[in-house]
Structure formats: structure tokens, C-alpha cells
Amino acid sequence: MFNLATRVQNAANLALSSAVVLSGIIVLITLGQLYANSVWSINTTSITNIQSLANIKHSFNYGSVNRKPKENSKIQFSLDADLSPLFNWNTKQVFVYLTAEYPGKSEGSSNRVTYWDKIITSKDNAVISLKNQRSKYSVWDVEKSFRERDAIVRLEWNIQPYIGPLLFGETGVGEFKFAPIKKKD
């Protein structure tokens, strides 16, 4: 009971228990601060001037099978967002991404694609102002065409803290219709 191994084990158990309790307190304080800043209802975001761009690509990298052409889509948009409330002393970085959600092939299904993303590492860089920005990614649908479907665009975020769980949310909504491919005569 009083040998060295028992004393080391007791000290290690105390240290581990203290670390778990301290981590739990940090997580609760962080969530309380974010809730006080109303981060799940940020309304300072506007997504405007959304224009869909469509083209046909023949590459395996863009969804085509056996080198058959596949319709791809990009968008051009303007975005103004102040995401500084997402930062506090426990925030390592915030991952921000612009997604579009549109109806799928079957009844009641929907598809979601990411057009643009950015990693924000400090509160100083948390104000985003983009004018006529082209999307970072070219996306393709599982179907042959986007068929001029309506899409809802959202700016979504993911807070990555030093200690604690990842926190997700969204702000800002916009809408657009996928552009049709103009057929050559």
C-alpha cells in the first residue's frame, strides 16, 4: 500500500482526473461565451449576385465516365460576412464554406455541394468581403445534368477549438437557378 508503484499510480490518477475536470470546465465556459455572443443566430451575412456558370468537361477528374462529357457547374457570388463573434480565447480556427443544396433525382432527396471554402485563423481576418468571386470548386452531379434546378446557398462554419468538440452552424442564405448548357447548332 505504501510502495512506490502505488504512490505513482495515485498521483497519475489525480492528475488525469484533474485534467478531465479542467477540460470539462473549459468546454462549458467556451459554450457559454459562444451562446452569449449569439453565434448560432449571426445575421450580419449577405450572399448576393449569385450567378451559375455551366460547362461540359471530358476529364475523369470532373465526373465523366469513359471520357464522355459531363456537365459541371461553378458559381460567381458576392459575400459579406462578419464572423468575429465565432472567436474567443479557445478558438484555434474557423473553417467557413459556401454550400448549395438542390433537389435530387428521387422524391424528397436533396444534394449538397461545396463551392468555396476558407480557413480563418484569427479574429482580425474574420470579416469577409468578396465581390464577384468565382467558386473555388467545379462540381458535378451524379445525374447527367443539373436541369435548371433551384438551389439554396448557405454560408456554413465549423469552429475548431483548442479543447472541446467541433461546433457547427450556418449563416446567410441565398438562392439561384442552375444555368442551362447552351447547345451548339
**Type of residue numbered 14:** L
Considering the domain 42-177, what is its CATH architecture?
Sandwich (2.60)
Cell numbers at 68, concatenated: 464522355
Global confidence as pTM: 0.81
Would you write out the chain's pLDDT as a tens digit for each of its 185 residues?
678 988 899 999 999 999 999 999 999 998 898 888 888 877 778 888 888 887 776 666 666 677 677 788 889 999 999 999 999 999 999 999 999 998 887 777 888 999 999 999 999 999 999 999 999 988 888 777 777 788 899 999 999 999 989 999 988 788 888 887 765 54
Contact of 95 with 83, CB cutoff 8 Å: no
pLDDT of residue 58: 63
- pLDDT of amino acid 124: 93
Quote the pLDDT of residue 59. 63
Q: Which of 100, 72, 87 is nearest to 34 (CA)?
A: 87
Return d(Cα 169, Cα 160) in angstroms, integer.
12
Predicted local distance difference test score (pLDDT) of residue 146: 78
> Where in the chain are the domains?
42-177
Q: Give the pLDDT confidence score for residue 185 in this predicted structure.
A: 45
**Can you give the chain as a three-state secondary structure string?**
CCCHHHHHHHHHHHHHHHHHHHHHHHHHHHHHHHHHCCHHHCCCCEEEEEEEEEEEECCHHHCCCCCCCEEEEEEEEEEEEECHHHCCCCEEEEEEEEEEEEECCCCCCEEEEEEEEEEECCHHHCEEEEEEEECCCCEECCCCCCCCCEEEEEEEEEEEECCCCCEEEEEEEEEEECCCCCCCC
